């Protein structure tokens, strides 16, 4: 790509993002981060590896058009490929090298790619890849977390990830909301009183207030996710565990810290959130 052309496009895109940040009263760095993640996903969707990955995590809230979504700085993918570190570094490098058919002004620096194995209690270890993106002189810290071996119920969905500017959007596979909820619930139960992932409670609470999924599929997704991760789902036991967790003093401190950092305005207490989650889960008792 011609360097002069790249600089011109990058400067134009940066100016548009700055203008958008003023119009929406959003931090420029936040918009820049989302733009970088979007354009990486577009390169992934155009690559030979598109069928090997399924988008999961907080970015899906943008796909589902949930306004209460919390900010996120990374991309979460379920990988259907070898979980070796060298394999994921190579794939990431090849995706970063793709030149999009419509210039988006972004450069991903392949020389900056670094990977690490994430120790988990799962059957397979996860992989975290970090690298740098650039838009003119602005730097974008990129992070991708790859998971392996999880079961998706119902099947992955064909999604179109919404773009910030009017560029071709990423078209790829994404988690259904039922499995997104199921994995977060399983993590809550597994970590028990040691759990500090308050964001999972918020995400589940928000999704439960967005009735765009099937109770039957949700119950099946929860049961299969627990089973795949070596546990058995018992609705009553799970609800009791959530209510006990909500009584711990530390959880309310963590919730207030999370609200200040992540979601700005929210009048609900952690007790309210857990109460709503438990009430929603208990509706599954009525399933035939």
- Name the β-bridge partners of 130: 114, 143
Domain boundary among 140, 175, 210: 175
The total of structural domains in the chain comes to 2
Residue-wise burial string across 208-241, b where 16 or more C-beta atoms lie within 10 A, e elsewhere: beeeebeeebbbbbbebbbebbeeebeeeebbeb
Residue 96: which CATH number? Answer: 3.10.450.620
Residue 241 and residue 114 share a domain: no
Residue 206 and residue 152 share a domain: no
Residue 183 and residue 152 share a domain: no
Residue 85 and residue 65 share a domain: yes
Per the structure, the complete domain to which residue 137 belongs is given by: 3-175
pLDDT at site 60: 97
pLDDT at site 119: 75
Residue 279 and residue 153 share a domain: no
Phi-psi map region of 144: left, alpha, beta (phi>0 left; psi -120 to 50 alpha): beta
Residue 79 and residue 132 share a domain: yes
Residue 182 and residue 252 share a domain: yes
Tens place of pLDDT per residue across the chain (288 aa) = 555 555 689 999 999 999 999 999 999 999 999 999 999 999 999 999 999 999 999 999 999 998 888 889 999 999 999 999 999 999 999 999 999 989 999 999 999 999 999 976 666 789 999 999 999 999 999 999 999 999 999 999 999 999 999 899 999 999 999 999 999 999 999 999 999 999 999 999 999 988 777 889 999 999 999 999 999 999 999 999 999 999 999 999 999 999 888 765 678 899 999 999 999 999 887 765
User: CA separation (Å) from 254 to 163, 188, 207, 268?
Assistant: 32, 15, 20, 14
* 0.85 exceeded by pTM: yes
Domain boundary among 175, 210, 235: 175
Residue 182 and residue 140 share a domain: no
Residue 10 and residue 86 share a domain: yes
Domain boundary among 175, 208, 241: 175
Residue 146 and residue 52 share a domain: yes
The tokens for 181 are: 């909820």
């Amino acid at each position: 790509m011609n360097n002069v052309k790249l600089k011109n496009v990058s400067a134009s895109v940066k100016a548009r993002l700055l203008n958008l940040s003023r119009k929406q009263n959003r931090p420029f760095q936040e918009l820049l981060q989302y733009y970088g993640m979007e354009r990486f996903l577009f390169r992934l969707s155009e690559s030979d590896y598109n069928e090997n990955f399924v988008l999961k995590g907080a970015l899906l809230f943008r796909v589902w058009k949930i306004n209460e979504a919390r900010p996120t700085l990374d991309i979460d993918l379920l990988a259907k490929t070898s979980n070796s570190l060298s394999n994921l570094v190579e794939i990431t490098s090849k995706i970063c090298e793709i030149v999009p058919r419509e210039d988006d002004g972004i450069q991903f620096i392949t020389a900056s790619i670094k990977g690490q194995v994430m120790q988990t209690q799962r059957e397979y270890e996860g992989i975290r890849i970090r690298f740098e993106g650039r838009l003119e002189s602005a730097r974008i810290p990129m992070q991708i977390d790859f998971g392996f071996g999880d079961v998706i119920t119902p099947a992955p969905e064909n999604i179109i990830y919404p773009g910030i500017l009017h560029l071709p959007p990423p078209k790829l596979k994404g988690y259904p909301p039922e499995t997104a909820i199921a994995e977060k619930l399983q993590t809550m139960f597994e970590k028990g009183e040691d759990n500090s992932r308050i964001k999972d409670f918020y995400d589940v609470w928000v999704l439960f207030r967005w009735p765009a999924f099937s109770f039957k599929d949700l119950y099946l997704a929860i049961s299969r996710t627990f089973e795949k991760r070596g546990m058995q789902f018992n609705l009553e036991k799970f609800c009791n565990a959530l209510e006990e967790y909500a009584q711990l003093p530390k959880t309310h401190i963590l919730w207030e810290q999370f609200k200040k950092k992540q979601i700005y305005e929210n009048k609900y207490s952690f007790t309210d959130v857990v109460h709503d989650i438990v009430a929603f889960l208990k509706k599954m008792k009525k399933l035939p």
